[in-house]
Structure formats: structure tokens, C-alpha cells
Amino acid sequence: MKNIFATVVCLFSAIPLLAQPSYTGGTGQIGYNLSSYGRVRVGTFPFTSSGREIDRISFIAAQSSDMVFDYNNDADSTSYMAQVISIAGVDTASESMADNEYSGTPPKILVKTAVLAWNDQKYIIVRFRVIADTANLGSLYYGAVVVPRIDGIYGGESVKYNSDKKTTVLSRDGTASFWGIKLLSTATFGVSIKDWDEYSPDPDNDEATDSTRELMTKFSGFDKDLVAGSDGSIISINAGKSGFSQVGDSVTIYYAVAYGKTENEMFSAMDAASAKYSAITSVRQNFTSLPENYSLKQNYPNPFNPETQIAFSIPVASNVSLKIFDALGREVETLVNKTLEAGNYSAPFSASHLSSGMYFYTLQAGSFRETKKMILTK
């Protein structure tokens, strides 16, 4: 179906002196803008910069107290600027890639930021894919930074973490505008909530030190509720840490952003976003007759760009591993690593973060092991 809710525009970023492409889209209920530096702004539809209610959602990674990747201080655009991409099961999607070249300080990573949207829904999904751009990068703590602007105003907003819904809730007394952000791809490691005046020594600028950002990103608890002062608040929703040893090692995390005129309406939209995330990322069982043998099918389509499906069959309940490797035999992604009941399955694979070339996928189930090759063409 032709999408009527998306347009490509050029906007000025707060960082560069020159205009850079950005992508403005939406669902018909909420709208967003994705910059080529990886900043996502969100508001009601149609999106306008003046009407944004989430000033930014952006990726953050901390390696040490003086080596932190942050949107405002480190992210620079690359040749892969904000553009439309195609993802199976998603009505519209856009993506951009940034690196650390604005500051030139470690950690040396690439960050692909994508926004996934579905028509007439009150949610979007933001996907961050962090890719090691140097060998022996080591461990990174990472997550998403959120700066609220509820009802188009900085300051005075309420911020709380709802442990039952696993959702950070943004609202303002007296307004019918509730926003939620939820980490979908893993259990929430921690949520750090700071008043802006506590976060930054210069309230008019994002002047916090790397050590402050590192402490927020490594925080493994859940801060108490906050009513922000006149300069607003900043939140770090943390996903934990991973080790990166080789160039190309990657981790992907997903967040949902949901909206409602009441808190319950927002939570209903968040539940729908969680269900949609499971539908587009999880291995799915095809309910046909049970297979008699183990088998691994050729991915379809093949060649592909950048989405494909990998089908396989297991005749008895088994511990199943399905992994992707590059031409040098390095593991680039694990699609399945769990016990599955007997049946026929298909697993989606997105290679938007990989370069063109030959890749291999290996199924290990019980004593069965098989490998096939596939071709990514961009």
C-alpha cells in the first residue's frame, strides 16, 4: 500500500553548520523526524518541530568515564544519511547511520538508527544497531537518552518508571498527553532520571561531562519519580552491556514509543507495540503437519536486500541455534538460541547493518547441523 504519511525534508541540526537530510514520517496518529545524526523527535501527527513532545531519543554508549558516545557531543553523519528502507511487516521505515567523527574520541562505533511505523497506530518502534568500527573495542554499556518536551514545553513534566508495564511514562498535570518509552529487546537494565539542572552545569546547553553520562548509562536501578524544574529533565533507559572484539561485531536494541490522551490509552498502545515487535522479530511457527526430519531451507528471497526469511524444520523438541556468519567465518548475528517444540519455523533476518557479499547461516538442533550460503546485494 502506498504510504501517505511520509515525506523527506531537509532540516538544520543543532550540531552542524550545513543542512543535512532528515526524514519526517508518521502513522497518522503520531509523527516523527529522524536526523542523519541519529536523533529521533516525536510528536502528534502531523509532525512539526515546534510541536514535538519528545525533543529527542538518541543512542548512548559508555566505555569509560571519559569515553562516551553521545548524540550531542560525538555523533556525526555519514554517507548513509536519513533515507527510506523496506522491512517486512512494517508499513514505513527510515534509517540513518552516524559515527563518532564529530568529536573523534572513542568509542569508535557506527550507530544505525531506524524508525518503524504502522499506519493509524499510536506507537512507533525505534531500532538502534551499534557496530564496532575498530578491533578490540571492549565492553560498552549502552541505551537510549530521552529528553521530554511534553505539550511542547520544557520543564514541569512528570517522569516515572512503571515497573508493572516496564515503561517510562512522561506526562504533565492538566494536559491530555501521555507518552511512554519501553525497551523491547531485553529486560531493562536501569532507568536514570535527572532534573536538567542536576544533569548539566550549564542549563542552556548540553554541557554534562562524559563521567556524568557514563554514570547514567551504567545505572542498574530505577530512579524515583520526578517532577522536573523549569529547565526540564533527561532520562537514560539502559540496556546493559556487551563486548565487542572484532570490526563488525554488533548489537541491536529496540524501543517502543507510545502515545495516548490518557495513561491507559498509552498503555494500550504500548501493548500493541510489544505485540508488533514480537511479530516482526521472533521466530514463528508455521502450523502445518509435523515434519519427519530435520531440515534447513534456502533463505527467501536470495539474493536479498536487506530482509530475508530463513525456514527450518525440527521433528522433535530440540535446543535450536540459528546463526549468521560472514565470509571469514565470523559470527555476525544470532537469530535463534532457545528450545523449540517440533514443527516448521521461519526466522526473519535484517542485514541493513552489513555490507554486500556472501554470508552463511548455520542451524544446530540436537545432533543435526547444516549450513547454507546466501547473497546480500545492496
The structural domains of the chain, with segments of one domain joined by +, span 7-281, 284-376
Q: Which three cell numbers stand for residue 203?
A: 542549563
- Phi and psi torsions of 367, nearest 5°: -90, 0
Q: What is the reported pTM? A: 0.82
CA distance 52 to 128: 21
Compute CA distances 125 → 30, 92, 95, 97, 247, whole Å.
Answer: 12, 11, 12, 17, 27
Q: Which three cell numbers stand for residue 194?
A: 535527572
Chain centre to alpha carbon of residue 144: 8
Cβ contact 169:70 at 8 Å: no
Chain centre to alpha carbon of residue 156: 27
Task: With residue 280 as reference, give the H or E element that holds it.
Answer: helix 263-281
| Nearest by Cα to 62 from 135, 157, 158, 130 | 130
Tell me which CATH code domain 284-376 carries: 2.60.40.1930
Chain centre to alpha carbon of residue 312: 27
Compute CA distances 323 → 80, 200, 214, whole Å.
Answer: 26, 43, 32
Mapped onto helix, strand or coil, the DSSP state of residue 165 is coil
Compute CA distances 170 → 161, 195, 217, 261, 289, whole Å.
Answer: 9, 13, 19, 12, 47
Taking the chain (378 residues) in runs of 10, the rounded mean pLDDT of each run is: 39 42 95 97 96 97 96 94 87 95 96 97 96 93 98 97 97 97 95 95 84 97 97 97 88 95 98 91 78 94 91 93 92 87 90 88 95 94
The fold of 7-281 is Beta-galactosidase; Chain A, domain 5 (2.70.98)
Collect all residues with Cβ–Cβ distance below 8 Å to 198 and sequence separation of at least 6: none
C-alpha dihedral, 370 to 315 to 320 to 325, nearest 10°: 20
CA atoms within a 13 Å half-sphere pointing along the CA-CB vector of 14: 15
CA distance 255 to 126: 5
